[in-house]
Structure 1
Amino acid sequence: MSLDPDAVEAVAFDSYGTIVDVTTVEEPLAEHVDSPELVSKIWRERSLNYAMVANHVGEYDSFYEYNRAALEYALDAAGAETTAEEREAILSTYDELDVFEDAPEGMERLHEAGYDLYVLSNGSPEMLDTLLDHAGIDEYVEDAISVAEVETFKPDAEVYRHAADRIGEPIEDVAFAAAGWWDVPGAVDAGMQGAWVNRSGTMWGPYEIEPDVPVESFHELADELDA
C-alpha cells in the first residue's frame, strides 16, 4: 500500500498522542508515585482498553470518564494514596498537555497547501474545544469530530465512516494521521488512507493491514502530500 497524494482532499488527525503528548502527565504524577513513567503508561493503556471493551459490550460513556477511571486504577496499582481533589488535579493535565512541536507547523503547511483539516478523536467535544485552543491550531482546523457523535470508540469502522460523512468527501479521499498503532489500522480498514505518525520508533502490530505511509513528523506528512 502507498499514499495517493492526488486523491487526498482532506486530512483528519487524531488528537491525544498525535497532536499533544500524553506523557506530559508524568510531571503531576511524580508528586504522588515513585515511577511516574510506568504509571503514565498504565493509565494510558487502561483508558484505551476501557474504551475498546466498551465497544464490544455495547456500552458507552465519555472518554473523559473512562480516563478518570483509568487514572484511579493506575494510582491504585502503584499503591498511591490520593484524595479526589488530587486525582482531579492530575486529570486536568489533559487540558494542557504539551503540544508536539511539529504539529502546529505541519498543520499550517497543509492548511496553506489547500487541504481541509479535521481532528477525529475519542475525546469528548469539550475536551476537543480545549485542545484546539491550547494547541493553537483552531485557525487551521475546519472542525473537530468526536466519537460522542456516534457513541462508539476508535478503531470501530463506524467512527471513520461517520467522519468521512461529516467531512463531506468520499472516504478514500480522506487521509487519517495518527500515532496509534491501533488507530491507523481502523482507518485503513474503513477505507481511509492511513498515515502512521511514528515519532518514537514504536513497533507496528502483527496485522496484514499496513499504513499507506509511515512518517516521523507532521512535516514529513506535508512533504509526502506535497509530492
Structure 2
Amino acid sequence: MPFEPDAVETVTFDSYSTLVDVDAAERALADRVADPEPISRLWRLRSLEYTLVANYLDAYQPFYEMNRDALQYALGVHGVDVGPDERDEILAVYHELEVFDDVRDGIERLREGGYDCYVVSNGDPDMLSSMVAHADVDDLLADTISADEVETFKPAAELYRHAAARTGTPIDGIVHVTAGWYDVMGAKHAGMQGAWVDRKGRPWEPVAGDPDLTVTSFHDLADALGC
C-alpha cells in the first residue's frame, strides 16, 4: 500500500547496513587475506542465516556470538587459518563501523520534525552501545532496542511488537527504516510501515510484497514526512 506519512508517530531504524556500513568490515580482513571481499560477503550472509535458523530451533545466542561463528565459518571455507585472538580482533571491527554520511543530519531533521527515533536491531546491547557512540547519534536517539530483550531475531513479529511496546507507540504508528529487505517485510507483517533504504541502487527482492516507501537516504525519508 502507499506510504501514509500522517499515520507516523515514531521512527525506528535498523543498525547494520542502515546506520553503519558493514562492508567496511573488509578492512579488518585486508591485512590477513589477499582477497577479503568474498570472505566478508560470506561472513555477513552466514550471520544472518544463523539468526533465522536460531529462531526456528529455539537456539538463541547473542548476535555477537552468532557473528563470531559466522566469521569462523567464512574463514574456514576460504582456507584462512587464524587463532581465536586474531579472529576476535577481526570481529571487533563491528564496534567501529563507518556511519553513512546522511545518518546524523537525517535523524536531526526527523527529531526537529517531532519524531522520536529508536534503533531496533538484532545486535546485542554491548554492540549497539558501541555502534551508537561511534556513529555519534546517541544524543539523537530515544533508545536502542535489542533482539536480546526477547531472545528472538528479525524478521519475527515478536521483536517488532516488543519494539512498539517499548516505544509506547501503536504498532501502526511506526515506520521502520532499514536496508534489509527481510527486515522491511518483517516490520510490515507485524503491523508497521516499512521503508527501504536503497543506497546502492539494487533491485527490490521479488517476494512477499513491496516496501511502503523506498528512499536513497534519510533525507528522502525526512522529505516524505514533511520535515
Deviations 1:19-64 (A, max 9, x none): 0000111111111222211111100000000000000111100000
1:133 has 2:128 as partner: no
Q: In structure 1, what residue type is equivalent to 2:142?
A: E
CA contact 1:117–1:141 (8 Å) conserved in 2? yes
Q: CA deviation at 1:115?
A: 0.3
TM-score by length of 1: 0.98
> Quick one: percent identity of the two aligned structures?
54
In 2: Cα distance, 1:219 partner to 1:60 partner: 35
8 Å contact 1:198–1:215 — kept in the other structure? Answer: yes
The aligned runs of 1:166-177 (5 Å cut-off) are: 166-177=166-177
Q: Does 1:142 align with 2:124?
A: no
Map 1:158-173 → 2, pairs under 5 A: 158-173=158-173
Structure 2 length-normalised TM: 0.98
Match in the other structure for 2:75 = 75
CA distance in 1, matches of 2:77, 2:31: 16
Displacement of 1:158 in angstroms is: 0.7
Q: How far apart are the structure 2 equivalents of 1:127 and 1:15?
A: 10
SS in 2 for 1:119: strand
1:61 counterpart letter in structure 2 = Q
For the residues of structure 2 that align with 1:187 and 1:209, how far apart are their CA atoms? 12
CA–CA distance in structure 2, aligned partners of residues 28 and 164 of structure 1: 35
Match of 1:156 in 2: 156
Specify the SS of the correspondent of 1:117.
strand
Q: Cα gap change, 1:81/1:208 in structure 2, threshold over 3 Å: closer, same or farther?
A: closer
Supply the distance in 1 between the matched residues of 2:120 and 2:202 (Cα, whole angstroms): 21
Deviations 1:164-204 (A, max 9, x none): 01111110100000000111000001110100001112222
User: Aligned equivalents of 1:188 and 1:95: distance in 2?
Assistant: 29
SS in 1 for 2:81: coil
Q: Which residue of 2 aligns with 1:106?
A: 106
Residue of structure 1 in register with 2:28 after alignment: 28
2:209 maps to amino acid: I
The CA deviation at 1:81 is: 1.6
Paired residue for 2:214? 214
Gaps spanning 5+ residues in structure 2: where?
Answer: none
**Residues of 2 paired with 1:138 and 1:121: CA distance?**
15
CA RMSD of aligned residues (A): 1.0
* Structure 1 segments of 4+ aligned residues over 4 angstroms from their partners: none
**CA–CA separation in structure 1 for the residues paired with 2:33 and 2:52:** 27
Give the drift of 1:162: 0.7
